A = this chain, B = another copy of it.
């Protein structure tokens, strides 16, 4: 951020009086420009025991497999965001269930929220996917998954499945969790 989005003057990066951390501050119009974490909403779509994965047609991690997920938009709910991303990336009209993983990534200012979802037999690659496919547990491409959040969500799912219970899993990740992936 270089310029004030309200008045167009140059901003400075400093601790406003009465605050405890630096912000982008406009001395011309007085606006403080707060920056906040973004929610990445998505699903783990399951059809007849198989998990639907998308192979990414975009960077980062072009060519790697992921669960459908993306930035939540203004004006929608977390569940609607999860449904929309699944529709956009996998053209699958899923029935969204409970929140399943909540993963904080404070080093990149993201909060992942992945919901369980029931998929039908109809799906197709959306514009951001190279291909979309259903995977049995033994066929999951563990070495070609796009993000550690996806690895963790799938690990929880296959651990929970024999128990028949899928409680919310909350956890935190940092840079080190990416090690060996990219």
- Contact string against B for A residues 68-112, beta-carbon threshold 8 Å, 1 for contact and 0 otherwise: 000111111111100000000000000000110010101101010
Given A4-B5, A38-B36, A39-B36, are A104 and B75 also a contact pair (CB < 8 Å)? Answer: no
Write the nearest CB–CB distance from A121 to chain B, whole angstroms: 26
A91 to B96, CA, bound (A): 39
Please state if B111 and A39 are interface contacts (CB–CB under 8 Å).
yes
Residues of B within 8 A of A1 (CB): 5-6
Majority DSSP secondary structure for residues of A touching B: loop
Interface size bracket, A side: 35 or more
Please state if B5 and A33 are interface contacts (CB–CB under 8 Å).
yes
Residues of B within 8 A of A181 (CB): none
Given A98-B170, A111-B39, A168-B99, are A73 and B3 also a contact pair (CB < 8 Å)? Answer: no
Residues of B within 8 A of A34 (CB): 71
Given A8-B8, A102-B99, A170-B99, are A35 and B3 also a contact pair (CB < 8 Å)? Answer: no
Please state if B36 and A71 are interface contacts (CB–CB under 8 Å).
yes
Given A5-B33, A8-B8, are A78 and B99 also a contact pair (CB < 8 Å)? Answer: no
Closest 9 CB pairs of A and B: A77-B104, A3-B8, A74-B109, A1-B5, A5-B5, A36-B38, A77-B172, A77-B106, A75-B106
